[in-house]
């Protein structure tokens, strides 16, 4: 009898101990994910370095901050550099006229540079775009951090994946006016949240294999989290299964939460939740711009 009494607590506590170990491991993985996200944001040529965005059309014109006159057409973006102007392309100094070739939809092509500034060509919603990445850009210099809700295992939620028979084109608004994205919807994540069933649209994550992407807003949007949209990367089920997991602790910000030069896709109507998702990343923090002092001179920002 004594032996039975002594072993009972160990038997009962084993599941709790195992659960605590699993949660601790998940939290450690989440901490590493957070750290890696912060590291990427702080890279010299990460998206915080975007310093301009321009739409190109068929009329060659000067673009503020860039050498040359820029246009686009069937041959893709073209630049005409005047005497004394140059770009570095593929490690070589380029002068005169340069044709870059057609740009694919949602391509990020770092095509040239001048000084420390990188020239990026991209295409969104059928529009050819010209952007610059400057490691000394103010947004990068004033970025502080991205706060997040504390890790909570309750926000790791099982759901069912309801795939479409074939991918469906879906139009999604962008954070930049004049652009409408077309993505491939691959199915829906059917999930119960706060007693209500939601069918969240999953779109194809083009640069990642075996996952879908949920773009969503919720009742925290514009209050503690970025107003326009957050994203959740979801691993698709293995063959023969329909179960997926929505780990809202990893709900992350899109680039447009940080810079006005990112035409990110926004949450479709179907994914606008009316309940608060108090998990994942919150509104990013930047140091405020210095304000003039009484003498009209600008005060320096806090370090």
Q: Is the pLDDT of residue 82 over 70?
A: yes
Say which range, 3-17, 68-82, 202-216, has the weakest mean pLDDT: 3-17
Query: Averaged over 250-263, what is the pLDDT?
Result: 97
The reply to whether 292 falls in a domain is no
Q: Is the pLDDT of residue 303 over 50?
A: no
pLDDT of amino acid 289: 76
Q: Is the pLDDT of residue 25 over 70?
A: yes
C-alpha distances (whole Å) from 302 to each of 143, 190, 265 are 12, 46, 34
Query: Are 130 and 108 contained in the same domain?
Result: yes
Q: Is the pLDDT of residue 6 over 80?
A: no
C-alpha distances (whole Å) from 168 to each of 63, 165, 275 are 37, 9, 27
Structure-block tokens of residue 62: 């000067």
Contact partners, residue 267, CB within 8 Å, separation at least 6: 215, 216, 217, 228, 229, 230
Structure-block tokens of residue 61: 């014109």
Query: Averaged over 8-26, what is the pLDDT?
Result: 67
Task: Place 12 in a pLDDT band, splitting at 50, 70 and 90.
Answer: very low
Query: Are 5 and 92 contained in the same domain?
Result: no
Interatomic CA distance for residues 59 and 230, integer angstroms: 36
Query: Averaged over 4-15, what is the pLDDT?
Result: 38
Query: Are 55 and 16 contained in the same domain?
Result: no
Query: Averaged over 141-158, what is the pLDDT?
Result: 97
Sheet order of strands, 156-173 included: 243-247, 156-173, 180-193, 196-204, 211-216, 230-235, 252-253
| Domain's final residue, options 143, 163, 190 | 143
pLDDT of amino acid 15: 61
Structure-block tokens of residue 151: 């890790």
CB 155 within 8 Å of CB 247: yes
Interatomic CA distance for residues 157 and 245, integer angstroms: 6
Q: Is the pLDDT of residue 151 over 70?
A: yes
**CA 256, 288, 147, 45 torsion-angle sign:** positive
Task: Place 209 in a pLDDT band, splitting at 50, 70 and 90.
Answer: confident
Query: Are 90 and 196 contained in the same domain?
Result: no
Query: Are 129 and 173 contained in the same domain?
Result: no
Select the more confidently predicted residue: 252 or 288.
252
Query: Are 119 and 174 contained in the same domain?
Result: no
CB 261 within 8 Å of CB 169: no
| Domain's final residue, options 143, 160, 189 | 143
Residue range of the domain that includes 195: 145-286
The number of residues in the chain equals 303
Interatomic CA distance for residues 117 and 86, integer angstroms: 13
Residue 220 CB-density burial (10 A; 0-12 exposed, 13-18 middle, 19+ buried): buried
Query: Are 176 and 244 contained in the same domain?
Result: yes
pLDDT of amino acid 183: 94
Place of tokens 């590291």: 39
Query: Are 277 and 154 contained in the same domain?
Result: yes
Query: Averaged over 270-294, what is the pLDDT?
Result: 89
C-alpha 67, offset from chain centre? 29
Structure-block tokens of residue 227: 């107003």
Percent of the chain with pLDDT over 70: 89
Cross-strand pairs, 214:
232
Select the more confidently predicted residue: 277 or 291.
277
- Share the mean pLDDT of the chain: 90
C-alpha 219, offset from chain centre? 20
Structure-block tokens of residue 145: 């951090």
pLDDT of amino acid 283: 98
Cross-strand pairs, 127:
124
Say which range, 16-20, 81-85, 272-276, 279-283, has the weakest mean pLDDT: 16-20
Query: Are 35 and 92 contained in the same domain?
Result: no
Query: Averaged over 34-45, what is the pLDDT?
Result: 96
Q: For residue 102, how many other CB atoms are within 10 A of its CB?
A: 15
């Amino acid at each position: 009898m004594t032996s039975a009494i002594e072993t009972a607590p160990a038997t009962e506590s084993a599941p709790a101990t195992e659960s605590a170990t699993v949660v601790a491991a998940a939290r450690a993985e989440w901490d590493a994910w957070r750290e890696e996200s912060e590291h990427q944001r702080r890279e010299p040529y990460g998206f915080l370095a975007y310093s301009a965005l321009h739409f190109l059309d068929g009329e060659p014109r000067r673009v503020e901050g860039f050498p040359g006159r820029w246009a686009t057409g069937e041959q893709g973006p073209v630049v005409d550099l005047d005497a004394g102007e140059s770009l570095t392309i593929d490690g070589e100094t380029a002068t005169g006229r340069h044709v870059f070739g057609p740009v694919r939809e949602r391509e990020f092509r770092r095509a040239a540079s001048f000084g420390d500034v990188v020239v990026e060509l991209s295409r969104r919603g059928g529009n050819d775009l010209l952007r610059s990445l400057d490691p000394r850009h103010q947004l990068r210099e004033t970025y502080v951090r991205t706060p997040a809700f504390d890790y909570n295992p309750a926000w790791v939620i099982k759901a069912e994946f309801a795939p479409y028979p074939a991918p469906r084109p879906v139009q999604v608004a962008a954070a930049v006016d004049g652009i409408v994205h077309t993505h491939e919807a691959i199915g829906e994540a059917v999930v119960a949240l706060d007693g209500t069933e939601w069918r969240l649209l999953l779109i194809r994550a083009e640069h990642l294999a075996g996952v879908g992407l949920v773009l969503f807003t919720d009742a925290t949007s514009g209050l503690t989290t970025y107003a326009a949209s957050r994203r959740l990367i979801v691993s698709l089920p293995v063959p023969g299964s329909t179960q997926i997991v929505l780990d809202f602790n990893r709900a992350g910000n899109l680039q447009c939460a940080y810079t006005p030069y990112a035409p990110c896709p926004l949450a479709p109507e179907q994914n606008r939740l009316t309940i608060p998702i108090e998990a994942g990343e919150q509104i990013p923090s930047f140091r405020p711009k210095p304000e003039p002092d009484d003498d009209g001179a600008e005060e320096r920002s806090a370090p």
